[in-house]
Structure 1
Amino acid sequence: MSEKFRSGFVAIIGRPNVGKSTLLNCILGEKLVITSDKPQTTRNRIQGIHNVEGGQIVFIDTPGIHKGRSRLNRYMVDEAGAALEGVDVVLFLVDATAKPVQQFELLQERLGRIDAPVILIVNKIDLISREQLILKLAEYGKLHNFREIVPLSAAKGEGVDRLDRLILPLLPEGPAYFPDDILTDAPERFVVAEIIREKVFRHTGDEIPYAVAVNVEEFDEGEEENGLIRISAVISVERETQKGIVIGKHGAMLKKVGTLARKEIEQLLGARVFLELFVRVRKDWTGNKNMMKELGYE
């Protein structure tokens, strides 16, 4: 008798910059969520659909849990917390190069309230020695009763293939939640906006990324079979000085961001794209409830 099909939801949580989005992209085998070395790159919950033999695992990538300062910070922490509701498994991701107690302290209270099994993922093991890893694994084992502790390197893909075998038996029996030919339930507009935001993150200074939001205002696929997809997007910043940096001298930075984003969007959509970008100042939008809502952070 063949085994029954299993399906369920798995939340990936952890502090900022521990590699949650990199891990999800590695599991899926495709780039779904944006990554950068800047804190709080991920702002919204994003679902990645992973089909395996005998089941479907829906991973939920979440913003890094940190001490919220601004309204936007608190929004991101709330998004991460909400992702834990009703999930079947939790992957708690930590950075192997950091001190275990520091990685654990902000999440200890949340972990204590979770009914679902928690698997500890110790990421970035390629950056420490084997002796250091053994000591840290022992220390984590004393901090919480984890279902499993899995050391891996998401950036290099080492140890990631083990996760499917650990997670699937923990999911309930039931049908797939999504068709097997889609990678995410996120709208194309959202993914396109994220790609543009990533290029701004990667190619501007440390001050700019936190103040940036991107909205796709036009997405026109046209009527001709081989026609261009026309996309118009607005990059919002908080100050005039930031606008100047994003645009760059003689528009060089905006052109670079647009070119890199267009190439990736064309790969995503499988079509030629005409991408038009604008930069708009929305003064102190990260602390304004109404402007945050307009920019997609509700």
Structure 2
Amino acid sequence: MTQRCGFVAIVGRPNVGKSTLMNRILGQKISITSRRPQTTRHQVMGIKTEDDNQIIYVDTPGMHIMSKDRNKAINRFMNQAASQALRDVDCVVFIIDRTRWMPEDQVVLDKLTHVKAPVILAVNKVDWLEDKASLLPWLEQVGAKRDFAAILPLSAKHGTNVPELEAEVAKHLPESIHYYPDDQVTDRTQRFLVAELVREKVMRQLGDELPYQMTVEIEEFRETDRVTHISALILVERQGQKKILIGENGERIKSIGREARLDMERALGGKVMLNLWVKVKRGWSDDERALKSLGYHLD
């Protein structure tokens, strides 16, 4: 049979379920998730190989409108990373949230104006719809906004219609050799993935108290026969944020470390010894040089 291989960008505004969809397709956690917008900050590739098809999904940061509180170097980086992912892909999956059309959805649609690749519209979280009868007229309404290759209602969380989406994506794969080994599932290193797991736990536990001026840097990643030793530095911008992260008697940082370590052990398939530290690095999120040193660079 003929081998096929192609790149598929998953795009949408923040918090519509892009990372959840990619994790569902791959059957394992590659991209971190939380209920906070802009949890994803980088392009993350998820590779799925089945028989003669290899699909390379590119999870992207949510495209957002630059506003007074979102006008930092890190916001510009996330928008650029999402836009860059649209170049030279074979298919685009554009995700929206149920029957809500927000100004940022229009921003994404406008970005797709010059994309020649077929665009599939995925209407996510339909399991949350109270009025299911509203879905069909909405699909007709939103379908008039562009000539979509297909429109699919789905639930990334529960897997509803996700196989149908994969089948639709597969129709647009070009004939090609596979770019990655059949057993590879991401282009990201283990260091990157464990840093993201720590950041996920911070976002989930402190999403309301701690703004987005937080990132994670891995200082040590050392594997021995029985255990992987990991030291992670959590960077914040203000002393008050450091106090929140550590918590009373260090309870918050212990909880974050415990949850992150359990996820790391599942991901790495072995025992992990995790040490977390918190450091104040003022202004890092609006300093392009600092961002590059922390791994925020376009591929």
**What is the TM-score with the length of structure 2 in the denominator?**
0.95
Q: For 1:68-147, what aligned pairs fall within 5 Å after superposition?
A: 68=66, 69-99=71-101, 102=103, 104-128=105-129, 129-147=131-149
Partner of 2:60: 62
Worse overlay, 178-187 or 241-250: 178-187
C-alpha separation in 2, matches of 1:127 and 1:141: 20
Encode CA deviations 1:50-72: one digit per residue, 9 max, x unaligned. 11233000000000000132111
Distance 1:249 1:97, change over 3 A: farther
Letter in 2 for 1:58: I
Per the alignment, in what secondary structure is the counterpart of residue 208 of structure 1?
coil
Separation in structure 2 between the aligned mates of residue 183 and residue 108 of structure 1, nearest angstrom: 29
Residue 167 of structure 1 is matched in structure 2 by 169
Moved more, 263-272 or 287-296: 287-296
- Deviation, 1:289, is 1.5
SS of residue paired to 1:63? coil
What's the offset of the Cα at 1:164? 2.1
SS of the aligned residue for 2:194 comes to: helix
SS at 2:49's partner residue?
Answer: strand
Hey, what does 1:41 align to over in structure 2? 39
CA distance in 1, matches of 2:185, 2:235: 28
1:83-121 CA distance string (max 9 Å, x none)? 11111000000001413x645311232111101000000
Q: Percent identity?
A: 45
Counterpart CA distance in 1 for 2:246 and 2:157 is 31
Distance 2:52 2:146 in 1: 30
10, 13, 27: which one aligns with 1:12? 10
Aligned to 2:179: 177
Q: Helix, strand or coil: the match of 2:199?
A: helix
What count of residue pairs does the alignment treat as equivalent? Answer: 292
**Residue range with higher mean Cα deviation, 101-110 or 197-206:** 101-110
Q: Deviation string for 1:203-254 (max 9, x for gaps)? A: 11424151110010110113xx3x2211111000010000001110010000
Distance 1:296 1:14 in 2: 23
**Partner of 1:198: helix, strand, or coil?**
helix
State the distance in 2 between where 1:12 and 1:177 align.
19
In the alignment, the residues of structure 2 paired with residue 169 and residue 110 of structure 1 have an alpha-carbon distance, to the nearest angstrom, of 23
Whichever residue aligns with residue 13 of structure 1, its letter is V
Q: Is contact 1:200-1:209 (8 Å) kept?
A: no
> Structure 1 residue 130: deviation in Å?
2.1
Query: For structure 2, which runs of at least 5 residues remain unmatched after alignment?
Result: none
Task: Show structure 1 runs of 5+ residues with no match.
Answer: none
Contact 1:212 1:238 in 2 (8 A): yes
User: Partners in 2 of 1:205 and 1:150 — Cα distance?
Assistant: 31
Aligned counterpart, 1:186:
188
Given that residues 13 and 91 in structure 1 are in contact (C-alpha distance below 8 angstroms), is that contact kept between their aligned partners in structure 2?
yes
CA distance, structure 1, for counterparts of residue 52 and residue 173 of structure 2: 11
Q: 2:291 matched to which residue of 1?
A: 292
TM-score normalised by length of structure 1: 0.95
